[in-house]
Amino acid sequence: MKVEQISIFIENKSGRLAEITRILGESTINIRALSLADTSDFGILRLIVNDGKTAAAVLKEQGFTVSMTEVVAVEVPDRPGGLSAILQTLDRELINVEYMYAFVERCGGNAVIIFRFDETDKAIAALTEENFNMLEGSRLYNM
Amino acid sequence: MFFNEEFETLPRPALDALQLKRLQAVLGKVYANVPFYRASFDAAGITPAVVKNLDDLQKLPFTTKQNMRDSYPYSLFAAPMEEIVRIHASSGTTGKPTVVGYTQSDIAIWSELMARSFVAAGAHKGDIIHNAYGYGLFTGGLGAHYGAERLGASVIPISGGNTKRQIMIMQDFGSTVLTCTPSYSLFMAEEARAEGIDIKSLKLRVGIFGAEPWSEEMRTEIESKLNLTAIDIYGLSEIMGPGVAIECIEAKHGLHIWEDHFIPEIINPETGERLPEGERGELVITTITKQGIPLIRYRTRDITSLSYEPCICGRTHARIARMSGRSDDMLIIRGVNVFPSQIEAVLVGIEGVEPHYLLIVDRQGTLDTLTVQVEVSEHLFSDEIKVLQALSRRIEKEIKDMLGVTCTAKLVEPKTIQRSEGKATRVIDNRKR
């Protein structure tokens, strides 16, 4: 149920994003989803790609600080209150969302949202209990 | 273990007598042969005859780096040029370099003192000494080289640079002793890791590191990353080069200064007054056996203290404390005295922080600002902003707590702070015009 995400430390200076995407492009890595968190000094680029291990390796080789994080991809019914139902479940179980962002593609009629929880396994159990659908990494990377 | 047991363990009264005899001889020589000293003694209304005991040394005027620059290139030499067999010069970051000349006898003494230093550090005949100090006008390379040969060890004159090749040679040639700057040793460890080589598994046993101030915390870091005993060595080209003082491996606590050739003093850098044993101030050295360019009460600008306490190693020579920095490296930030080495000590004390840092001092309006750039290693990195921000705040707080100065910690990408293969650049002071 867990999806591999790579996170990259970037300083706030021009050309860094261009550099990362160039390195990934040259290694034929396809970006499936991304989110950029930033402060005035630095940012963290979070990516889901078709081949996380290779992506992390080529970026490290170029001197970037990279880490792998486990996140969860949850299908969200595309209707009012769809996301709310998921968040209420998590709230009830006292699970914190560290951050979340939307996946580019839709899955059937549903949206897909990537979540990073403080307690990943507990979150998966709670969402499974409530019959929310989560996507396997292998499916997501090639969607 | 000693290289020259008789002189290294000379009892204090005998050492004092030897110092006085040699001091009086060198004073006579510079007064007769060096116009600068004749003029400065005359201006102070003294002659070498005023020195009747070692305390009288205080009556003599200082020699400064500026005096050396003004004497560029050869005016301070006390021996005729045909006696000079080697010339070195220090990097002239501000103006002309300072030039020093060595006679045959100076080279022999330097080699012996460097050989003594190797032995004090735990090296011996049979060691393979990987000498990564730069060869050239800088005294580091050749100074260590001659000492290694005098000791009878095998020396690899690799010099600085081309780190991948350095690592290959250390691995293939079985180097047991490494000599370089402390920051370069960590750079080597980093490069070895990137190359997939376990530097800890090499045969290196002892590292002799100098030419820049470093901290006790950095020693711990180097020893664990390279799996060797790290020894601090001190020297400066004006006085001789590397091997003026060295830690003994037995105590690793203070650097023995070879007192049969140098007389150390500690002074208050503001007033020039001599300070008592144990007090921190500027190190002043008088060379008492040098022939090429003897220096009387040379102000080194290095900040340290002196101890005459007996050492467990058996050497009777006084010890200078680990340098806290050069008096000209000292930053005054909003009235607070800060040495880069103190900031380094704080950083290395924080789990996972690499000792690669850069201090940027600026002035906004009338207020000094200090920015501390720290590289984010894989170890420190988190994909959560709040964790990284907490790290920045922790660095700021610890520096504030330890040094009393407010700073901004800025996390930067790894390997973006310039690595130096010689002396590391730690400070950019934009306040200077």
Q: Indicate the residue of A42, A69, A99 with minimum beta-carbon distance to B411.
A: A42
Chain B nearest CA to A99, separation (Å): 8
Residue B4 is predicted with a pLDDT of: 97
Residues B389 and B310 in one domain: no
Residue B175 is predicted with a pLDDT of: 98
Per CB-CB distance under 8 Å, the chain B contacts of A66 are 378, 381
Stretches in chain A below the pLDDT threshold 70: none
Count residue pairs from A and B with Cβ separation < 8 A. 51
**Boundary-marking domain end, from A45, A70, A95:** A70
Chain A nearest CA to B414, separation (Å): 7
Residue A110 is predicted with a pLDDT of: 87
How deeply is B29 buried, as exposed, middle or buried, from its count of CB atoms within 10 A (0-12, 13-18, 19+)? Answer: middle
Task: Identify the residue whose tokens are 């003004």.
Answer: B70
Q: Do B381 and A64 touch (CB under 8 A)?
A: no
Q: Indicate the residue of B381, B410, B415 with minimum beta-carbon distance to A67.
A: B381
Residues B319 and B343 in one domain: no
Query: Which residues of B, range 321-380, sit inside 8 Å of A by Cβ?
Result: 376-378
Q: Do A63 and B384 touch (CB under 8 A)?
A: no
| Residue B44 CA, distance from chain mean position | 32
Residues A83 and A128 in one domain: yes
CATH value at residue B284: 3.40.50.12780
Residue B421 is predicted with a pLDDT of: 62
Residue B239 is predicted with a pLDDT of: 96
Give pLDDT tens digits along chain B (433 positions).
999 999 999 999 999 999 999 999 999 999 999 999 999 999 999 999 999 999 999 999 999 988 998 999 999 999 999 999 999 998 654 567 889 999 999 999 999 999 999 999 999 999 999 999 989 888 999 999 999 999 999 999 999 888 889 999 999 999 999 999 888 898 899 889 988 999 999 999 999 999 877 888 889 999 999 999 999 999 999 999 999 999 999 999 999 999 999 999 999 988 999 999 999 999 999 999 999 999 999 999 899 999 999 999 999 999 999 987 776 677 878 777 788 878 888 888 887 787 788 999 998 877 788 999 998 888 888 888 888 999 999 999 999 888 888 899 999 988 888 776 666 678 888 886 4
Chain B nearest CA to A114, separation (Å): 14
Q: Indicate the residue of B377, B378, B413 with minimum beta-carbon distance to A10.
A: B413
Query: In this complex, is the C-beta atom of A57 within 8 Å of any C-beta atom belonging to chain B?
Result: no
Residues A64 and A79 in one domain: no
Per CB-CB distance under 8 Å, the chain B contacts of A17 are none
Residues A8 and A63 in one domain: yes
**Residue of chain B whose alpha carbon sits nearest to that of A5:** B383
Residues B323 and B372 in one domain: no
Q: How many domains is chain B built from?
A: 2
Q: How many domains is chain A built from?
A: 2
| Residue B14 CA, distance from chain mean position | 28
Per CB-CB distance under 8 Å, the chain B contacts of A11 are 411-413, 416
Nearest to A143 by CA among A119, A111, A121: A111
Task: Count other C-beta atoms under 10 Å from residue B319's C-beta.
Answer: 24
Chain A nearest CA to B412, separation (Å): 6
- 3-class DSSP state of B312: coil
If phi over 0 gives left and psi between -120 and 50 gives alpha, with beta otherwise, what is residue B125? beta
Q: What are phi and psi of A4, to 5 degrees?
A: -85, 125
Residues B296 and B417 in one domain: no
Residues A62 and A80 in one domain: no
Assess contact for B120 and B247: CB atoms under 8 A.
yes
Residues B357 and B303 in one domain: no
Residue B370 is predicted with a pLDDT of: 93
Domain that includes residue A7, residue range: 2-70
Residue B91 is predicted with a pLDDT of: 64
Tens digits of residue pLDDT in B233-249: 999 999 999 999 999 99
Chain A nearest CA to B230, separation (Å): 28
Residue B20 is predicted with a pLDDT of: 97
**Boundary-marking domain end, from A70, A98, A119:** A70
CATH value at residue A65: 3.30.2130.10
Determine which of A8, A9, A59, A60 to mutate to test the interface with B (most B C-beta atoms within 10 Å): A9
Q: What gap in Å lies between CA B43 and CA B64, rounded to an integer?
A: 16
CATH value at residue B337: 3.30.300.30
Q: Indicate the residue of B384, B385, B413 with minimum beta-carbon distance to A65.
A: B413
Report the run of H or E that residue B193 belongs to, with start and end: helix B182-194
Residues B246 and B389 in one domain: no
Domain that includes residue B406, residue range: 331-429
Chain B nearest CA to A91, separation (Å): 20
Query: Which residues of B, range 400-429, sit inside 8 Å of A by Cβ?
Result: 410-416
Query: In this complex, is the C-beta atom of A96 within 8 Å of any C-beta atom belonging to chain B?
Result: no
**Boundary-marking domain end, from A25, A52, A70:** A70
**Boundary-marking domain end, from B292, B327, B362:** B327
Residues A88 and A121 in one domain: yes
Tens digits of residue pLDDT in A75-100: 998 889 989 999 999 999 999 999 99
Determine which of A46, A65, A101 to mutate to test the interface with B (most B C-beta atoms within 10 Å): A65
Q: Indicate the residue of B385, B410, B414 with minimum beta-carbon distance to A44.
A: B385
The model's pTM is 0.73
Residues A126 and A79 in one domain: yes
Residues A105 and A47 in one domain: no
What number of CA atoms fall less than 13 Å from residue B72's CA on the CB side?
11
Per CB-CB distance under 8 Å, the chain B contacts of A69 are 383
Q: How far is CA B266 from CA A59, B121, B182, B257, in A?
A: 52, 25, 25, 13
**Boundary-marking domain end, from B294, B327, B360:** B327
